[in-house]
Amino acid sequence: MFLYQDMKERIVYFQEKVNEPLAKAIVILAGRYPEPTRGNCQYHNTHILLDIRDEFFKKWDFKGRTPLVKAAWRVLIVKYEHCPNYRYALDWILSKIPADWKPFNPNRQIECWRNI
């Protein structure tokens, strides 16, 4: 019982003192980046990322985490568009995804997915 209680306290501590402040800081800092749009992005693959992002948010909503995930998308797309090193790194990572990668399973939806 003591071990369980100690672990539960650590989880709560980590959530309140680490995860939440980190998420808040990421959202604030990501907000300093310009909002990427087709009008201010020139690369073909950036436009693909924008389309994927837009489709993702039509199908996904995890109320408490949506601002953090939107911030992550913003940073990813802006860095991809404006920095060749990040662009080439992401292109390389995506090229290494093997053909036997397990795809998204629409039969295993959780509450944050809709209309899949």
Does residue 111 lie within any of the structural domains?
no
Residues of the chain with pLDDT under 50: none
Backbone angles phi, psi at 113, to 5 degrees: -100, 145
Q: Nearest 10 degrees: CA dihedral of 36, 42, 48, 54? A: 20
The domain of 32 spans 2-98
Backbone angles phi, psi at 60, to 5 degrees: -130, 135
pTM of the model: 0.84
Does residue 88 lie within any of the structural domains?
yes
Does residue 110 lie within any of the structural domains?
no
Does residue 113 lie within any of the structural domains?
no
Q: How many folded domains does the chain comprise?
A: 1
Does residue 54 lie within any of the structural domains?
yes
Residues 51-71: pLDDT tens digits?
999 999 999 888 888 999 999
Does residue 108 lie within any of the structural domains?
no
Can you name the residues that pair with 113 across neighbouring β-strands?
Answer: 60
